[in-house]
Structures are given as structure tokens and as C-alpha cells.
């Protein structure tokens, strides 16, 4: 993961402007502390801040082909890069970077290059002979990308990995839509990602195939183990992160026992070769539910486990910086991002540069406790599709920016495109909660890895973890974390301020003191009107009877006991 900054068709002296571009790019250096690069072609300029994970010694960017007719700056990882090399026989690769394949596939396939990429990515590619810029973002928006314009120079287009690099240059900034590409020759933004489950009104009818679901997730994890640097897993002790840790540990054990035999020949197994011992990381307030659960999982899997605690005051002191890095004032995102931000700093201090994480599962399987209130299977499915489509505004944004604030890359196997096609095409009746202890949230995911289904002598997880009730990360780190945020906001924001909030902010008017407090801190860093256009707040489903507070503890089923869930 890295930081990119690109300017197409600058109106002025591009060589003089280079200094300003470098300053804008420097605002992204936390994303790529390992090296910086800048290339000018005509009146276009591409800058890059690199975090080296694959091709460490030779993958500096922007990358060019031999005659420098194509220039490429990428933020992301291309998991099928070895397979794509076979798509371009005779191409001369000058680096060992997984991203260089984009350049060579574009030379053969043009804009259709985006349809061949399996990974998380945002990139800007300059086709010099055709005076054209191609920009694109991965299907779900795991990596961030922003597009901007200035009214002083309407024919100039800007792109950056984070909004902060554009705020002084542009008076219009948008979050570039996931699954799209922009072609400067047509000035059009086109959707390329059209999976079969995209239409929320088309309710799938396929029965659950537990074996296919399990093997699809295993392959998704395996793909994401390519790395030439130390890596690990974020382990909250919840179902999702624990499953990812379990699968990753099994892959490491396979290699140690010389039992590779991977069927997917295009998978880059470099991490397994270089770092076969899996490290796991957890954080929480002292005695938090997540710390205890994560410890149990780590002991069961025999990972090299690292447990960190933080104090309420340390968390509160970090909130302002967290909002600066997140570039949002969404309450749920800020709550959950602060512990992740603190943990990422600890992990990076240990020399680790990449982690696997469990984002996306709750959206795919309806794992949030409010899904229990879904009126019907069709409503349930529509909500899962909507939540997955909007992940780039919430959990993907949190996972990426909380970690990349310290130059740590998070990879999310649940959002693998192939796995999504399997999981999102399951009949939603199979996913729904059933009262009376018959089925709990994410039942089919739990069942797919239960020993009664796998037939494996080795359980993936202890039953107490595999069948543990959903605990949102911001709750699981310690219930007093959210309580303290609310109490601090109560002291900071007066009743009068909240009552007149609409006079200060007519758009996205905060309705609670906590939301008001976050909005104030956002405005400290991003006072420009252009900076609020890309912010999306999650609004609870009041039509399903959900409370305004997004905490899982606010849901009526939080304390429900489940009997015989399996």
C-alpha cells in the first residue's frame, strides 16, 4: 500500500509546479515512508510515496516501460500478478513489483486492464503518446482514491490517495467510486465491476454449499500472504479475525511440513517462504472481552501473540489525530478506528508492515445485531448488498486509513471478488437469524468451519470462539470506551450548541453531542466546503426499529443467550 498524487493537464509551468506537487504528496508520506518518486511528462505529473511489501529492492514508483511511453503510480497489491505475467508474453519487466503487470497488460489490453486485476488497488496511468490518463479503483474500494478539480483551471484533473493532499488545490473533491475507471480522453467515469449479485432486488436462491464457501475463503487468505516483509494478523477474538488467523496459520503449517501442493499455481507464496511463523496482535482496555477471547484463540492456534492495552485517556488524546487520518466524522467509524489506530502504531514499531484483517464479513453475512430485525429475506439481502457497496465509506476506510497512518498495510480476505460471488449469491434465508436458539448471526459462516461440517480432525477454532456472539470492535475493546467518548462529548458540547447545530452545519447536521464533537474536530483539519462532499455517515435503520446509537450494545438482542446454536 502506498500514496499516489497525480495531476493531468496542468495549466502553467509544470516544472515550477513540481515543488508544490511534492509538498502535496508529502501529506501522504505516512502511507509510504520507504521512498518517494515523481515523474513529469508534458503538462502532467505523477508522484508516489512507497510502502515496500513486494519487490522491496526494485519496485520504486512511478514505474515506466522501457521507452517511458507509459507511466504508472499505484496504491495497492495485485494478487494475481504472476498469472498476468503469462498474459503478456515477451514483456520486459524491470522490477519484481506486483504492480508492474498493470503497465504491461494496459499496453496490450488498454482500459480493459482493470477487468484482469485481482487485488486491492487505486492507480493513475499516463499514456504519453495518446496524451491520456487512466485512473481506476478496485471493485469494493478497499484502497482510497479521491478526485478533484479547481474552478480556476477546469480542464485540470487531480487524483490522490487521501483528501488532505487535494484540499489546498481543489474546490471540488469527490471520493472516486469503487469499481470504476476514468478516461481523460472521454472525460467519462465508467463502471467495470458488475458481479451477478449487484442488483439488490434480485434475491438469490442458491442453497448454501459449505465446502465451496470454506475453500473460497481459504484461497482468499492464501492469495493475500504474498509478502517479502514481516506480516501478521489482527486478532480481536471475534469470529471473523479468528477465522482469518486460523486459515493463515494452517497455510504456514503446510509449508513447514513441506505439504504445499497448492492447486492455484498463480498464487504468490512469498510470505509463507519468508515468514512461516504467524504473529497475531490484539488491543483493548485492561480486562476487555476481546483481549480474553484473542488470548484463547492465540493459545489454540499457537501464534506468536502480542497483546496491548490502552487507557481511556490515551484513546481520547488520539481522537483528533484519528479524525485527521480518517477524513470523516462518522460516529461508528471514529469509535472503532481509535483502538485500531493505536494498535497499528504498536505493530509498526515492531517492524511488521502487513496484516490480515476481518473486515467485510458482517456486511456479507448480516452479522451486525440489527440484522435480527430484518422484516424479510428480501429486506435482509437488500441490506447486505447496500452495506457491501458502501464499505468504502466505512469499514474499508477505517481499516485502510487507521493502519496506513503508521505505514501498516491491512489486507481483507472477506472482500476477495471470488469469495464475494460465492457468499453474496447464497439464498438469504440461509443467512437469517432464527429465534429460539436455532440459528445465530453468521450461522452459515460458522457452520462452514465447524468440525461437524469439515470432517477435519483438527478444529479451526474452539467452539467458544466459533459460536461467540457478535461483538462490535468498538464495544469489544472494553465497554467503557464508548461510554467515555459519550461522557467527554457531554462535557465538551453544551445543550445550546447542539440545539443550534443546524445553523453551523446545514449539511449532515449532528444530532448527538458525540457527533457534534467529532464534526468540530473534522472542521479543525478540513474547514473547506469541498472536504465534506466525500463524507458519508452511517444512519441506523430506524424503519427496522433500530436505536440511533450504532453500538452493538444498543441492540435489544445483545445480551440474548443462544442455546444449541450449532
Map residue 304 onto helix, strand or coil. Answer: strand
Question: Nearest Cα to 176, choosing from 392, 4, 360?
Answer: 392
Burial of 287 (0-12, 13-18, 19+ CB in 10 A): exposed
Strand partners, 345: none
DSSP code for 440 = -
Annotated binding-site members: 98, 234, 283, 357-358
| DSSP 8-state assignment for residue 86 | H
Residues making up the annotated binding site for L-glutamine are 98
Angle of helix 331-349 versus helix 513-525 axis, rounded to 10 = 60
Is residue 170 within a helix (H) or strand (E), and if so which, with residue range? none
Please enumerate in sequence order all residues whose Cβ is within 8 A of that of 3, keeping only pairs 6 or more positions apart, or say none.
25, 28, 29, 30, 31, 32, 48, 49, 75, 160, 161, 162, 165
Query: Which residues are annotated as part of the binding site for ATP?
Result: 234, 283, 357-358
How far is CA 268 from each of CA 26, 57, 95, 212, rounded to the nearest angstrom?
31, 17, 15, 22
Q: Collapse the DSSP code of 422 into the 3-class scheme (helix H, G, I; strand E, B; otherwise coil) and give the result.
A: helix
Residue 40: enclosing H or E segment and its boundaries? strand 35-41
Query: Which distant-in-sequence residues (6+ apart) come within 8 Å of 334 by Cβ?
Result: 319, 322, 323, 326, 328, 518
Neighbours of 355 (CB within 10 A): 26
DSSP E strand stretches across 152-296: 153-160, 172-175, 180-183, 188-191, 231-234, 279-284
2 as an active site residue: the answer is yes
Across the strands, what pairs with 476?
none
C-alpha cell at 210: 459449505
CA dihedral (336, 339, 344, 347) positive or negative: negative
> What are the residue ranges of helices labelled H in 493-538?
495-499, 501-504, 513-525
**Catalytic residue (one of 2, 24, 99, 396):** 2
Strand 172-175 with 409-411, pairing: unpaired
How many C-beta atoms lie closer than 10 Å to residue 210's C-beta? Answer: 16
3-state secondary structure of 120: strand
Catalytic positions = 2
Amino acid at each position: 500500500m502506498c500514496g499516489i498524487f497525480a495531476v493531468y493537464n496542468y495549466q502553467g509551468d509544470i516544472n515550477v509546479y513540481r515543488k508544490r506537487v511534492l509538498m502535496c504528496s508529502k501529506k501522504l508520506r505516512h502511507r509510504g515512508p520507504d521512498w518517494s518518486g515523481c515523474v513529469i511528462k508534458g503538462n502532467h505529473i505523477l508522484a508516489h510515496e512507497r510502502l515496500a511489501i513486494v519487490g522491496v529492492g526494485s519496485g520504486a514508483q512511478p514505474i515506466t516501460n522501457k521507452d517511458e511511453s507509459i507511466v504508472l503510480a499505484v496504491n495497492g497489491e495485485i494478487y494475481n500478478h504472476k498469472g498476468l505475467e503469462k498474459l503478456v508474453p515477451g514483456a520486459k519487466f524491470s522490477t519484481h513489483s506486483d504492480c508492474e503487470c498493470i503497465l504491461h497488460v494496459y499496453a496490450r489490453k488498454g482500459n480493459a486492464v482493470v477487468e484482469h486485476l485481482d487485488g486491492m488497488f487505486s492507480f493513475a496511468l499516463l499514456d504519453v503518446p495518446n496524451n491520456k490518463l487512466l485512473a481506476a479503483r478496485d471493485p469494493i474500494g478497499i484502497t482510497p482514491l479521491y478526485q478533484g478539480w479547481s474552478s480556476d483551471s477546469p480542464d485540470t484533473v487531480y487524483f490522490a490517495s487521501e483528501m488532505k493532499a487535494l484540499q489546498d488545490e481543489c474546490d471540488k473533491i469527490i471520493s472516486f467510486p469503487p469499481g470504476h475507471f476514468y478516461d481523460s480522453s472521454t472525460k467519462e467515469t465508467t463502471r467495470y465491476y458488475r458481479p451477478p449479485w449487484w442488483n439488490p432486488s434480485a434475491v438469490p436462491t442458491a442453497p448454501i454449499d459449505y465446502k465451496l464457501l470454506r475453500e473460497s475463503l481459504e484461497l482468499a487468505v492464501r492469495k493475500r500472504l504474498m509478502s517479502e516483509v514481516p506480516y501478521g494478523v489482527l486478532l480481536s477474538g471475534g469470529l471473523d479475525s479468528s477465522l482469518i488467523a486460523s486459515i493463515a496459520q494452517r497455510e504456514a503449517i503446510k509449508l513447514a511440513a513441506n505439504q504445499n501442493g497448492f492447486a492455484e499455481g498463480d498464487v504468490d507464496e512469498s510470505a509463507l517462504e519468508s515468514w512461516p511463523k504467524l504473529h497475531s496482535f490484539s488491543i483493548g482496555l485492561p480486562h476487555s472481552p476481546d483481549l480474553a477471547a484473542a488470548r484463547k484463540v492465540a493459545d489454540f492456534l499457537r501464534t506468536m501473540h502480542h497483546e496491548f492495552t490502552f487507557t481511556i485517556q490515551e484513546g481520547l488524546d488520539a481522537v483528533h489525530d484519528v479524525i485527521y487520518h480518517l477524513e470523516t466524522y462518522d460516529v461508528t467509524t471514529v469509535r472503532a478506528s481509535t483502538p485500531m489506530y493505536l494498535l497499528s502504531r504498536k505493530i509498526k514499531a515492531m517492524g511488521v508492515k502487513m496484516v490480515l484483517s476481518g473486515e467485510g464479513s458482517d456486511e456479507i453475512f448480516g452479522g451486525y445485531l440489527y440484522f435480527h430485525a430484518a422484516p424479510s429475506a428480501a429486506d435482509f439481502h437488500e441490506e447486505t448488498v447496500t452495506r457491501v457497496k458502501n464499505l468504502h465509506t466505512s469499514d474499508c476506510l477505517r481499516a485502510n486509513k487507521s493502519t496506513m497512518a503508521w505505514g501498516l498495510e491491512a489486507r481483507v480476505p472477506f472482500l476477495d471478488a471470488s469469495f464475494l460471488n460465492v457468499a453474496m449469491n447464497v439464498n438469504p434465508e440461509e443467512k437469517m437469524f432464527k429465534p429460539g436458539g436455532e440459528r445465530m448471526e453468521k450461522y452459515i459462516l460458522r457452520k462452514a468451519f465447524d468440525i461437524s461440517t469439515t470432517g477435519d480432525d483438527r478444529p479451526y477454532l474452539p467452539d467458544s470462539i466459533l459460536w461467540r456472539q457478535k461483538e462490535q470492535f468498538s464495544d469489544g475493546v472494553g465497554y467503557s470506551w464508548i461510554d467515555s467518548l459519550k461522557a467527554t462529548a457531554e462535557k465538551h458540547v453544551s445543550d445550546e450548541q447542539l440545539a443550534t447545530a443546524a445553523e453551523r452545519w446545514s449539511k449532515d447536521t449532528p444530532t448527538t453531542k458525540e457527533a457534534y464533537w467529532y464534526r468540530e474536530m473534522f472542521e479543525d483539519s478540513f474547514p473547506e466546503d469541498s472536504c465534506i462532499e466525500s463524507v458519508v455517515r452511517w444512519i441506523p435503520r430506524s424503519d427496522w426499529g433500530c436505536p440511533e446509537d450504532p453500538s452493538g450494545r444498543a441492540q435489544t438482542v445483545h445480551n440474548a443467550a443462544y442455546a444449541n446454536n450449532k
